[in-house]
Amino acid sequence: MTQTPTDRIARSDRPDRPARTAGGAVVPVLAFAGIVVAVMQTLLVPVIKDLPQLLDTTPSNATWVLTSTLLSGAVATPIMGRLGDLYGKRRLLILSLAVMVVGALVSALTSDLLTMIAGRTLQGFAMGAIPLGIGLMRDMLPREKLGSAMALMSSSIGVGGGLALPAAALVAQHADWHALFYGAAGLGVLAIGLTLLVVPESPARADGTFDLPGALGLSAGLVLFLLPITKGSDWGWTSGLTLGLFAAAAVTLLLWGAMELRVKAPLVDLRTTARPAVLFTNLASIMVGVSFYVVSLVLPQLLQLPKSTGYGLGQSMVTAGLLVAPLGLTMMVTAPVYARLSAKYGPKVTLILGLMVIGIGYGAGLGLMSAAWQSLVIAVVLGAGIGLAYSSLPALIVGAVPASETGAANGLNTLMRSIGTSVSSAVIGMVLANTSTSAGGVQIPTMHGFRVSFLIATGAVAVGLLLALFLPGRAPATLQLRASSEEEANLERAEAALRGFRGRVVDAQGTPVARAKVTLIDRRGQQAGATLSDADGGYALAVPAEGPYVLAARAHGHGPHASAATHAGQDLPVELDLALPGADAGSGLGSGPAGGTGAVTA
């Protein structure tokens, strides 16, 4: 059967709830994919200071090994999310991981700077796995399991980062540093295999085509914006190059936004993004990203500085990694705690609570920098707060956007976090450099620089709290009950659409007709089902058995209409639009939606 644009719209706008159930292993496998992405991001942290020697280059050139991954990840995240919405989230998840594996192998086989940058650029594409995993969970999991699952997926970046630090440090201390990339490639292959075995493809698809001009415009704008942020300390923050790139980024992103508002199927729906629930969540995400990265930059350096400085804690690379690891482990533990709190109070409250805990952690950290065990306490407290905050973000986004935009919307949210970590890296790097002192001809950070960094993180948390207060509150109990009943109705409709008829009720001009009564009549002339069309005219009715049926539609102000159709009994929907004539027109059995016979067979 030829599909019309109307059919595609009806299909893409099907309900938000899952149309396929998922096995119990799906959530751990998707979370493992997120942890693999975090490992890819973190594996070079223990050898950052040695990169110039390892790659036989200057320190400023060596930073491109990290910058390239950041830029490609920022570009790939919203693009992969949108492609997943259009063509299948599982398919794009596997593609993201596969590109990462190729990049890891490229890096593992070289010590050449340019080849290493190319490999790290490919590895950055794995960042798309986070929004794709969250989108798969929304499409497949029942409502009661969705909150904790999304919390675990969202926290996987911190979990993987915390676990990867000591592991990468151990490898870097006792083996060739290229083994780090072989390990990342192996984890990527394992994640791909588990995804193929355990995770089913989501049937949900967005309408439209991929917005290539929008993707190119967003990519250019992000690169122009993030490049001076990451390299500004090397180039000079007031240099012509830095200011010129910031100006070019502003112009490019403004032009891109104007273009996206005119596109029928944009890469990022800016109107949806402008909703308070989405806008303030994304802005708060930047602040959470800033606060997360500060502790990752400060604690390992403080722990590894020699005691001869008077404030360094003199720990080895591996011990420092183990002391910071609870940051990620605590984030994992908070995922089920978040689910219970969110179910009772809503994700807005858990976001505010998480930010308050982060603020307490940084505030206490200002006075807890004199012993290794104190760093462990800071890591645990901050991990709990960041875990709660990170877990709240996807729930706030998912609750504010249509199902067909889940991947793209969470991709944008993940991008906001990445921008936060980029800004944090640039600002804290500048602070530590400007407050450093010389020891034996080597510039080392000072305690003053560490404390200023914690104060900056505390300020970011305060801004995040202010933004979170502007988020829409939880609906009153009566509205929640109404929404819950609507979700149940949507779930029934989704299940019906798998084996039955679905389409849209429209008038003679093709305009959707809401609340039209659609009745299913079997071969004996008895009613086999009935429903009301939704706001966009969509309807779905299950069939009790295969065979011929008649679908009759009627609505106030329109004439009645009936179409004959046959269902062959397989688990596929028959697409059938019902066109109502004007009130003074008649309609006979068999008049199809476009004047055809109306006889449709699946």
Q: What is the pLDDT of residues 505-516, one digit of tens each?
A: 988 888 888 888
Report yes or no: 156 and 35 within 8 Å, Cβ to Cβ: yes
- At CA 238, angle to CA 251 and CA 51, rounded to 5? 95
Closest CA to 203 of 573, 534, 488: 573
Closest CA to 222 of 381, 421, 70, 394: 70
In angstroms, the CA 549 to CA 601 distance is 10
Greatest mean pLDDT among 314-318, 349-353, 365-369, 536-540: 349-353
Which distant-in-sequence residues (6+ apart) come within 8 Å of 460 by Cβ? 287, 290, 291, 294, 420, 424
- CA dihedral sign of residues 562, 565, 569, 575: negative
Q: CA dist 256 to 219, 405, 420, Å?
A: 10, 19, 21
Q: What is the pLDDT of residues 68-123, one digit of tens each?
A: 887 788 788 888 888 888 888 889 999 999 999 999 999 999 888 889 989 999 99
Report yes or no: 421 and 290 within 8 Å, Cβ to Cβ: yes
Q: What is the pLDDT of residues 414-470, one digit of tens each?
A: 778 877 877 777 777 778 777 777 766 666 778 888 888 889 889 989 999 999 888
Q: What is the pLDDT of residues 261-307, one digit of tens each?
A: 888 777 777 777 777 888 888 888 888 888 877 877 788 778 878 88
Pick the CATH number of 499-601 from 3.30.930.10, 3.40.50.170, 2.60.40.1120, 1.10.10.10: 2.60.40.1120
In angstroms, the CA 10 to CA 207 distance is 9
Which distant-in-sequence residues (6+ apart) come within 8 Å of 200 by Cβ? 20, 22, 26, 90, 140
Can you read off the two tokens belonging to residue 462? 């305060």
Q: CA dist 75 to 46, 212, 216, 426, 509, Å?
A: 26, 13, 9, 19, 41
Instruction: Write the single-letter amino acid at 530.
Output: A
Could you state, in order of their start, the residue ranges of all structural domains in the chain?
5-211+263-477, 212-262, 499-601
Top CATH class of 5-211+263-477 equals: mainly alpha
In angstroms, the CA 48 to CA 69 distance is 14
Q: CA dist 343 to 339, 474, 560, Å?
A: 6, 11, 45
Strand pairing class (538-542; 574-575): unpaired
Q: What is the mean pLDDT of the chain?
A: 78
